[in-house]
Amino acid sequence: MKLKTLLYLSAFLFSSPSALAENEICPIMIEDEIDTEEAVKLEGKTVYLCCGKCVKIWNSNPKYFIKTSLDLLPQFKGMEEKLKLNEVKLMPQKFCPVYKDRIVTPDSPSIEVQGKKVYVWSTSAIRRWNRSPEESLTKALEAGLLPQFPENKKIKGKTNPVSEKKK
């Protein structure tokens, strides 16, 4: 009886899409689990995301997300050269300063703060920022999310690794 139960259980696990997912966390909203119905294909690999909005955003710049979230996307490890990720230029800012678990790209909405461009997740993030801009800036700098500001706290993993331009 126990063997039969184990066989049924293993058959279920191996046929379930989540058991086959190579990424378990959304590579855009990096604190959200995937929804196996929200998937895209790239180079024969399936990428699972958490929602339809992330699918839309992923489709606008998939290689950017692969490069910035490669640790969450094991299905692309070893494919960096084939995907030409060396040609993808990351901006220093990685996360939205309002929704701190969401990755931003050069295509994300932005606002100007003290003469610097700050990327945000959405127009609702802009509204939230503008309710209390000074407090929003202080919190974002303390969280290490805005490398474009010299007073940004240095916290590993909160910014994209970028090479310094030679002068």
Residue that the structure tokens 């610097």 belong to = 116
Which pLDDT does position 162 carry in this prediction? 73
**Packing angle, helices 133-142 and 123-131, rounded to 10:** 110
Which pLDDT does position 47 carry in this prediction? 97
Task: Say if CB 120 and CB 129 are below 8 A apart.
Answer: yes
Which pLDDT does position 18 carry in this prediction? 42
Task: Say if CB 89 and CB 107 are below 8 A apart.
Answer: no
Which pLDDT does position 21 carry in this prediction? 53
* pTM score: 0.82
Indicate the SS3 state at residue 167: coil
| H helix or E strand, kind and range, residue 40 | strand 35-42
Which pLDDT does position 4 carry in this prediction? 53
Which pLDDT does position 163 carry in this prediction? 58
Indicate the SS3 state at residue 137: helix
Which pLDDT does position 17 carry in this prediction? 45
Query: Nearest 5 degrees, angle CA 10-CA 13-CA 16?
Result: 145
Q: Where are the chain's structural domains?
A: 15-87, 90-161
Q: How many CA atoms lie within 13 A of 128 on its CB side?
A: 14
Residue that the structure tokens 């919190």 belong to = 139
Return the number of other C-beta atoms located less than 10 Å from residue 153's C-beta: 14
Which pLDDT does position 113 carry in this prediction? 97
Which pLDDT does position 7 carry in this prediction? 44
Task: Say if CB 25 and CB 45 are below 8 A apart.
Answer: no
Q: How many CA atoms lie within 13 A of 106 on its CB side?
A: 9
Tens digit of pLDDT at every position of the chain (167 positions): 555 544 444 444 444 444 445 899 999 999 999 999 999 999 999 999 999 999 999 999 999 999 999 999 999 999 999 999 999 999 999 999 999 999 999 999 999 999 999 999 999 999 999 999 999 999 999 999 999 999 999 999 899 987 555 44
Q: Rounded CA gap, 87 and 153, in Å?
A: 28
